Structure 1
Amino acid sequence: MIGALLLVGFAVSLFVGFNIGGSNTGPAFGPAVGANVISKLLAGALMSVFFFIGAWTIGRRVVDTLGRELVTDPGVFTIESSIVVLFFIGGALFIGNYAGVPASTSMTAVGAIAGLALAAGELNWAVMGEIAVWWIVAPLVGFWVSGVVGRYFYPTINRWVAIEGSAGSLLEVDRSGTIPSVGLGPDTTPREVVGATVVIAIGCLMAFSSGTSNIANAIAPLYGAGVDMNLLILLGCGSVAIGALTIARRTLDTLGNDITDLPLTAAIVVAVISSGIVIALSAIGIPASFVIIATMSIVGLGWGRATRAITVSEGMRGEAKPNVSVGALTADEPGEEAPDIGEEDPDETPSAAELFNPETTGRVVLMQNVVPLLSTIGAYATFRLLFAFWW
């Protein structure tokens, strides 16, 4: 009977990993695929490799936090309870996806485990408090760092990383010789190669950061129940790879999730800031939410760029002056120079509302907090009933 239950636990865990691979590949490699730098197949392969590296190294610390340290007695994790916890993780994430809002896998997983621990009276409040503090601080750091970048440095960065696509393929394979060789396309420029390399490297960084934090969400309950961590990491990364190579193709097609619907420059800025924060938190064992941090970084970047557009309506000594636009929002087209403050065309300059939508932001932030609450409350209520009538 235990063997059959363990197989069910593996199946649910693999399903969670499968969805992690499907949802995280688009944000990581969407810009590279959208810029025709790599194929969807290569994107899935790179996601699989770098997710595994992140999971096998730094990810172990987060697995240990969720599977052992978050509860005062790891004995609350049985095969049965682990299956229920994983069910609530997957179910809550499905609700978030159905609502069209990418929910935080880490917050949802921690919520479900905390619900179990609360029902059993075994929640480690010190560890939970530390995690909660970082959940508040990390998005704020992402917001303000991105805001500063958007306010002061975005035009310069845009000129640095802009990719000017040339006709034809970036690389060509010469099969005329005995051993095929790879070379640059006929119209490929060195700048294009450098830009493409940067975009791919950023995607690999995001895949690595996803592995450091998200592997725990799929395997921590089973690890707490006593299953070997190495085996679980291998199984979890295998399911992530399957998701990255299959259902992730849809998100890579639409580029509609997380940061991938931004201009290429903005996507790179948000990816670097968010991934850096997630990796730093994972290194100290904190399960970080890339989705929340990236969302707030997007908001901060848009807010920073939007605050470059202000209106001066009154001069010195109280003299009335005509309204003058002093926006310095840069366009995102490669090679386009950012106008000096006061010299841009108001008809061609994006408005603050186009860059920062408070209504949409509020809906996203609301749902990203509601989904983890659903997993927490659902797990707590379920385990209270189970402990009362079963265990």
Structure 2
Amino acid sequence: MDSALLVLGVAVACFVAYNIGGATTGPAFAPAVGAGVLTKVAAAALMSVFFFVGAWTIGRRVVDTLGEELIHDPAIFTLPASIVVLFFIGGALFVGNVFGVPASTSMTAVGSIAGLGLASGQLNWAVMGEIVTWWIVAPIVGFWVAGIIGRYFYVYLDDLIAINQTEGALVELDRSGAVPKVVAGPNTTRRELVGSLIVIAIGCLMAFSSGTSNIANAIAPLVGSGQLDINVGIVIGSIAVAVGAFTIARRTMETLGNDITHLPLTAAIVVASISSVLVVGLSAVGIPASFVVIATMSIVGLGWGRATRTTTLSEGVTGEEAPRASVGALAADEGTATVGDPTVSEETKPEPEPIGEGKPEEVPSASDLFDPSTTARVIVMQNVVPIFATIGSYATFLLLF
């Protein structure tokens, strides 16, 4: 009987991990795929490798937090209880997909386990309080860091990162020597190569951060039950994530079906970098962090910083007043040749041109970038789903204890 339950539990854990792979590969590598830097297969391969590295190194700390520390007595993680918890986590992914909102699997996993702890009287309130505190602090930090970057540094980052693609392959394999080596393509510029490498590196960082935080959502209940070794669980979970990356994630990469990848390329990289660094940092101390919540607040912060930018660092040092940025600043940057130039009048100043993205017919307004109703729906769903998971888990286990 226990063997059958263990097989069922592993199957449910693989289902959760499979959905994690499908949901996180797009946000990580859609900018690189959309820019023509990577193929979908290469993106899935990189996702699989770096997710596993993150899970194997830092991810086990989050597994310990959810599987052993959040509950005073891990013995309550029986196989049936672990399966119920995993069903609630999998259900959250399903609800998020139905409503088109990326639900936080980390928050839902903690909520489901907390429901078990509450019903059994074994919840470690000190650990729970620490986790919730960081859930509040991390998005605020992401908002302000993104806001500062958007206000003072975004133009310069866009100038550095923007990819002006040339004809032909980005890199080629040089077989002229004894040992083949990878070299830049015949038409590849240094700017294009650097920008492409940055986009790929950020995708790998996001994949790594996903592994550090999300592997626990799939295997922590089974590891906590003592029925599954943590090393075996990490390998099984990572394989399931890889399957999701090579299959259902292709759709998200093709359609860029994530809020982050709807931003300009530079903005997507900034948001991804901030969110990934925060998630990895929290995972290193065993705190399960929500990438989607941190990323959402980083997007809002970056937009606020760009829309309210009134001075650059150089202007702040010299004391010269700069023209006020347009409200559509997140999607289109001011041309550096005209910003702060007293010889150019307001009537003759040319329309701003986004660096590396071509000149659009018109600059989008703030309402084109941030729909208040959509933003509210995302934030509400990201918090309501974990609450329902917690209440549902508590009610279910209350009947069992």
- TM-score normalised by length of structure 1: 0.90
- SS of the residue corresponding to residue 339 of structure 2 reads coil
Q: Partner of 2:172: helix, strand, or coil?
A: strand
Matches within 5 A, 1:178-197: 182-197=182-197
1:366 and 2:367 are equivalent in the alignment: no
Corresponding residue for residue 326 of structure 1: 324
Structure 1 position 269, deviation (Å): 0.4
Q: Partner of 2:229 in structure 1? A: 228
Taking a change above 3 Å as real, the CA distance of residues 338 and 106 of structure 1, as seen in their structure-2 partners, is: farther
Give deviations 1:7-32, integer Å, cap 9, x for gaps. Answer: 00000000000000111000111111
Separation in structure 2 between the aligned mates of residue 36 and residue 176 of structure 1, nearest angstrom:
27
Please say if 1:352 is aligned against 2:366: yes
Per the alignment, residue 123 of structure 2 pairs with: 123
In 2, Cα distance between equivalents of 1:184 and 1:336: 29
Instruction: Say yes or no: does 1:215 pair with 2:215.
Output: yes
C-alpha contact 1:5 1:79 (8 A) present in aligned 2 = yes
| Separation of aligned partners in 1, 2:180 and 2:269 | 33
Distance 2:336 2:105 in 1: 39
CA distance in 2, matches of 1:339, 1:307: 18
User: Are 1:174 and 1:183, in contact at CA under 8 Å, matched by a contact in 2?
Assistant: yes
Correspondence for 1:2: 2
Structure 1 position 181, deviation (Å): 5.7
Does structure 2 retain, via aligned residues, the 8 Å contact 1:62–1:213? yes
Whether the aligned pair in 1 keeps the contact of 2:223 and 2:229 (CA below 8 Å) is yes
Contact 1:309 1:352 in 2 (8 A): no
1:270 equivalent in structure 2: 271
Match of 2:165, SS state, is coil
- The one-letter code matched in structure 1 to 2:395 is A
Segment drifting more, 283-292 vs 298-307 = 298-307
- 1:258-288 per-residue CA deviation (whole Å, 9 max, x = no partner) reads 4111111001100111101001100110000
1:340 Cα deviation after fit: 2.0
Counterpart of 1:221, as a letter, is P
Provide Cα deviations, 1:285-343, integer angstroms capped at 9, x if missing partner: 00000010011101111111122389xxxxxxxxxxxxxx8325657579954752676
Contact 1:147-1:302 within 8 A present in 2 as well: yes
Distance in 2, matches of 1:149 and 1:260, equals 18
User: C-alpha root-mean-square deviation of aligned residues, in Å?
Assistant: 2.4
Q: What residue number does 2:318 align with?
A: none
1:298-309 pair list within 5 angstroms: 298-308=299-309
SS of equivalent to 2:81: helix
C-alpha contact (below 8 Å) 1:305/1:355 kept by paired residues: no
Tell me how far apart the structure 2 counterparts of residues 199 and 65 of structure 1 sit (CA, whole Å).
Answer: 32
Q: Which moved more, 1:332-341 or 1:213-222?
A: 332-341
Question: Distance in 2 between the 1:284 and 1:183 partners?
Answer: 40
> What is the CA–CA distance in structure 2 between the aligned matches of 1:249 and 1:7, rounded to whole Å?
28
Return 5+ residue gaps in structure 1 as ranges.
Answer: 311-324
Identify if the C-alpha distance between structure 1 residues 333 and 301 changes in structure 2 by more than 3 Å, giving closer, same or farther: closer
Corresponding letter in the other structure for 2:51: F
Unaligned runs of 5+ in 2: 312-322, 341-345, 353-360
SS in 1 for 2:216: helix
SS at match of 1:236: helix
Shift of 1:362: 1.1
For 1:366, the aligned partner's letter is V
Match of 2:162 in 1: 162
Find out whether 1:282 has 2:286 as its counterpart: no
Instruction: Report SS of the residue matched to 2:90.
Output: helix
Residue-by-residue CA offset, 1:86-125 (whole Å, 9 max, x unaligned)? 0010012211111011111100110111111111111100
Q: Is the 8 A contact 2:267 2:330 kept in 1?
A: no
Superposed displacement of residue 360, structure 1: 1.7
Mapped partners of 2:267, 2:4: distance in 1: 48
Give the CA deviation at 1:184: 2.8
Match of 2:137 in 1: 137
Describe the shift of the 1:119–1:17 C-alpha distance in structure 2 as closer, same or farther (beyond 3 A): same
AA matched with 1:95:
V
Deviation at 1:174, TM superposition (A): 6.2
| Closer, same or farther: CA 371–107 of 1 in aligned 2, 3 Å | same
CA distance in 2, matches of 1:146, 1:129: 26
TM-score by length of 2: 0.88
**SS at the partner of 1:172?**
strand
CA distance in 2, matches of 1:191, 1:363: 39
User: Following the alignment from structure 1 to structure 2, what is the Cα–Cα distance between the partners of residues 150 and 49?
Assistant: 32
| Contact 1:146 1:298 (8 Å CA) reproduced | yes
Retained in 1: the 8 A contact 2:263–2:331?
Answer: no
Whole-angstrom distance in 2 between the partners of 1:207 and 1:287: 15
Shift of 1:382: 0.9
How far apart are 1:69 and its partner, in Å? 0.3
CA contact (8 A) 2:112 2:390 kept: yes
- Counterpart CA distance in 2 for 1:32 and 1:122 is 45
The answer to whether the Cα contact below 8 Å between 2:205 and 2:276 also exists between their aligned partners in 1 is yes
The answer to which of 8-17 and 358-367 deviates more is: 358-367
Contact 1:331–1:338 at 8 Å: present in 2 too?
no
SS in 2 for 1:53: helix
Alpha-carbon distance in 1 for matches of 2:280, 2:329: 30
1:330–1:338 CA contact under 8 A, matched in 2: no
Q: What amino acid maps onto 1:352 in structure 2?
A: A
In the TM superposition, what whole-angstrom CA distance separates every residue of 1:351-381 from its partner, at most 9, and x where no partner exists?
3323333222111100100111111111111
| Cα drift, residue 33 of structure 1 | 0.5
**Partner secondary structure for residue 58 of structure 1:** helix
Match of 2:245 in 1: 244
Moved more, 77-86 or 343-352: 343-352
